A and B are shown apart, each in its own frame.
Chain A
């Protein structure tokens, strides 16, 4: 009776065998014999010494525009200790992101970096400001952002580092798009108030200092350790506007087995305070994305944010970890005004992530986020993301 499943599966077999397997096999064998590549990893490197790395990228984040692009890195760019990295990602006119970073290693722990980022994204999410944000007013707005900076970074003991950066950022607003009502439409219908600074394009100079003290060690060492990251810096915009960001993350990780079965608990807070004039809402701290993975980035916006996260990470394959996290948090008014445990939201997620020590890699994640306890804590957000995790 085997002929029955064989007949049924024959189209798939023919497609796999003659459209995928054999042509791909012939291609890879040819590439290998002509020494295009001696390993799978080297398929993406080229040039003398393999200094050029070109990787196609793609990402999908449910609720946001997907993107496809490339990541290019050139080692020894003009100098032995200089490295150039360029990222391009787009989904047509809905989303265009480009960045370039030139990093020069002064010596072993010290490096300088010049960075330029361009972004034109029309599907930024807005669901309100503060703890009571609700998907009932979910809307989209567009932003054009140009940002350039120069910075210095020094590696400290363990996985710690110190960084200082100064630059200029230009923010312009464009029409939102992509399914949901635009923020302009919501405002025109009186459904939401315009958030502070909306449609007021501005240019701001900024400075930023960050330090991370981290006792965790790189793989394959056990993952236990504690860490503290503090960030802060002022921004100054024309028309007597100025504000200051500050915040931090404190956490601890315990490797249960010494083989990277790691429980991690962390608490993060972020603030922005006005020094003169009003702070544009695009400068507010946000939650969502990495900070509360059950929500897309920017779901929660406020003058301050808190997030407490308990996570567990364990290896499932070579270079691949599984990770599950439970997070409590929300966005608040200035200095956590209005904070109440009943106003917290929950976020839970599980997924895979590559284990490179850098901040880029592949991520597959499914998560959910809830309303506040006060509102019943029912699920209000489903997040599914697959693809390239860009550098932060």
Chain B
């Protein structure tokens, strides 16, 4: 009896191991992910609203700058090592072994060459989003309604009649044209590959076309509030690239549509987004962005340089449900040779991590060769 039981068990196990591959599904390839379908999110009181209104969008994720660095450099790695994590194939692929169009990525036959056919509209910019040259703008036409809070780059936000809202960012002092050019070129590459990016463009302007709203405040990196007045504006304009004729060159980022809800993470999912069901670490487009980042030397591709926005089906109320989340790559100003103030760090950018144990021991063992 025992022999019979063992024999049957072995046959059953062997039979299971020899099962034929699953048949190819008899349906259309999965070309468009359902994460572009509107979903509803439970409503809650808006903590930022003074009129006790409700918000029916995913919660804002505030990315911790310091902990993000520490965790990714050390603690998360140790955890993954101790958990003996192994990575498999990407999970968001269809039967063509390609990623479908989704809230992360769009397979469109758009290329830099296509964009070159309309040289005035780089990257994700639509022709009507391009800002006019300075000689076609009236004095006081662009209204500054907000300074640029914290961050390493100076700037301000403007409202342009007929165009919308743009964030104006200065080039780094002493590095004329670099950051603005890198932003536009980097965003164009990401857009051409298929990622969602903001519309980035270079603008030349004169101070007179700006109108400063009174009483503006900005918060610096230390959390201290300062007035954003004419003096502060002069400082921004003096920092950026100077051009003949009292003109300055800046970078203009079109304000993203919808409700910003913070960066996306490179691991896990956004728990209150019903459409977000695949671990970001298993998303092929995010894995692939590593290659693109390496190619563009986009060493600052941390999560803080991404942004999720909630696009409500009702455009008149961006805090409402239903809607869906779109995931953007933003701020590519550190591509193509960006440097930081610490020389030793600048030399390693694009070649190693901020804290790279393997690199340390390689340098030690090779005597710095």
A contact set with B: CB distance below 8 Å: 2, 5-6, 9, 12-13, 16-17, 20-21, 24-25, 28-29, 31-33, 35, 37-40, 219-220, 257, 259, 261, 312, 314-320, 322, 355
**B356 at interface by CB-CB < 8 Å:** yes
Tell me the bound Cα distance from A20 to B70 in angstroms.
Answer: 12
**B13 at interface by CB-CB < 8 Å:** no
State which size class the interface on B falls in: 20 to 34
Residue in contact with B344 in the complex, picked from A16, A24, A35, A318, CB distance below 8 Å: A318
Q: List 10 A-B residue pairs with CB atoms under 8 Å apart, sorted by A's residue number.
A: A9-B82, A16-B75, A16-B82, A29-B64, A35-B223, A219-B343, A220-B343, A315-B363, A316-B368, A318-B348
B66 and A39: CB pair below 8 A?
Answer: yes
Residue in contact with B70 in the complex, picked from A40, A257, A261, CB distance below 8 Å: A40
**B84 at interface by CB-CB < 8 Å:** yes
Minimal Cβ-Cβ distance residue in B for A260: B368
A28 and B343: CB pair below 8 A?
Answer: no
Tell me the bound Cα distance from A13 to B359 in angstroms.
Answer: 25
B66 and A259: CB pair below 8 A?
Answer: no
A364 to chain B, nearest CB (A): 11
B contact set with A: CB distance below 8 Å: 62, 64-67, 69-71, 75-76, 78-79, 82-84, 86, 221-223, 342-345, 347-348, 354-356, 359-360, 363-364, 367-368
Tell me the bound Cα distance from A12 to B83 in angstroms.
Answer: 9
A21 and B368: CB pair below 8 A?
Answer: no
Residue in contact with A32 in the complex, picked from B65, B222, B368, CB distance below 8 Å: B65
Residue in contact with B368 in the complex, picked from A37, A318, A322, CB distance below 8 Å: A322
Q: Which residues of B contact A5 (CB under 8 A)?
A: 84
A220 and B344: CB pair below 8 A?
Answer: yes
Minimal Cβ-Cβ distance residue in A for B355: A317
Tell me the bound Cα distance from A38 to B344 in angstroms.
Answer: 21
Minimal Cβ-Cβ distance residue in B for A49: B222
B134 to chain A, nearest CB (A): 36
B308 to chain A, nearest CB (A): 19
B358 to chain A, nearest CB (A): 11
Minimal Cβ-Cβ distance residue in A for B74: A21
Minimal Cβ-Cβ distance residue in B for A317: B360
Minimal Cβ-Cβ distance residue in A for B66: A32
**Which of B69, B83, B343, B356 is packed against the most chain A CB atoms within 10 Å?**
B83
B53 to chain A, nearest CB (A): 24
Minimal Cβ-Cβ distance residue in B for A29: B64
Going nearest first, the 5 A-B pairs with the smallest beta carbon separation are A314-B368, A220-B343, A13-B82, A316-B363, A35-B223
Decide yes or no: A28 and B82 within 8 Å by CB, A20-B75, A259-B347, A316-B360 being known contacts: no
A315 and B368: CB pair below 8 A?
Answer: yes
Tell me the bound Cα distance from A317 to B344 in angstroms.
Answer: 8
A317 and B84: CB pair below 8 A?
Answer: no
Tell me the bound Cα distance from A38 to B219 in angstroms.
Answer: 13
A6 and B367: CB pair below 8 A?
Answer: no
Tell me the bound Cα distance from A29 to B63 in angstroms.
Answer: 9
Tell me the bound Cα distance from A35 to B344 in angstroms.
Answer: 27
B342 and A261: CB pair below 8 A?
Answer: no
Residue in contact with A40 in the complex, picked from B66, B82, B84, CB distance below 8 Å: B66
B267 to chain A, nearest CB (A): 13
Q: Which residues of A contact B82 (CB under 8 A)?
A: 9, 12-13, 16-17
Decide yes or no: A33 and B64 within 8 Å by CB, A16-B82, A315-B368, A322-B364 being known contacts: yes
Decide yes or no: A317 and B367 within 8 Å by CB, A16-B79, A38-B65 being known contacts: no
B83 and A13: CB pair below 8 A?
Answer: yes
Decide yes or no: A38 and B221 within 8 Å by CB, A25-B71, A29-B67 being known contacts: yes
Tell me the bound Cα distance from A314 to B343 in angstroms.
Answer: 15
Minimal Cβ-Cβ distance residue in B for A11: B82
Given contacts A28-B64, A315-B368, 16 further A-B contacts (CB under 8 A): A5-B84, A9-B84, A13-B83, A16-B75, A16-B82, A17-B79, A24-B75, A25-B71, A32-B64, A32-B66, A33-B64, A37-B66, A39-B66, A314-B368, A318-B344, A319-B344
Q: Which residues of B contact A17 (CB under 8 A)?
A: 79, 82
Tell me the bound Cα distance from A70 to B76 in angstroms.
Answer: 30
Q: Which residues of A contact B84 (CB under 8 A)?
A: 2, 5-6, 9
Tell me the bound Cα distance from A95 to B69 in angstroms.
Answer: 38
Minimal Cβ-Cβ distance residue in A for B224: A35
Minimal Cβ-Cβ distance residue in B for A24: B75
Minimal Cβ-Cβ distance residue in A for B150: A38
Q: Which residues of A contact B83 (CB under 8 A)?
A: 6, 9, 13
Q: Which residues of A contact B76 (CB under 8 A)?
A: 21
Q: Which residues of A contact B347 (CB under 8 A)?
A: 259
B359 and A317: CB pair below 8 A?
Answer: yes
Residue in contact with B360 in the complex, picked from A32, A38, A320, CB distance below 8 Å: A320
**Which of B66, B75, B363, B364 is packed against the most chain A CB atoms within 10 Å?**
B66
B356 and A317: CB pair below 8 A?
Answer: yes
B368 and A13: CB pair below 8 A?
Answer: no
B71 and A21: CB pair below 8 A?
Answer: yes
B363 and A21: CB pair below 8 A?
Answer: no
Tell me the bound Cα distance from A317 to B345 in angstroms.
Answer: 8
Decide yes or no: A317 and B342 within 8 Å by CB, A16-B79, A32-B66 being known contacts: no
Minimal Cβ-Cβ distance residue in A for B348: A318
Q: Which residues of B contact A16 (CB under 8 A)?
A: 75, 78-79, 82
A367 to chain B, nearest CB (A): 16
Minimal Cβ-Cβ distance residue in A for B223: A35
B359 to chain A, nearest CB (A): 7
Q: Which residues of B contact A220 (CB under 8 A)?
A: 343-344
B152 to chain A, nearest CB (A): 12
Minimal Cβ-Cβ distance residue in A for B219: A35
Q: Which residues of A contact B354 (CB under 8 A)?
A: 318
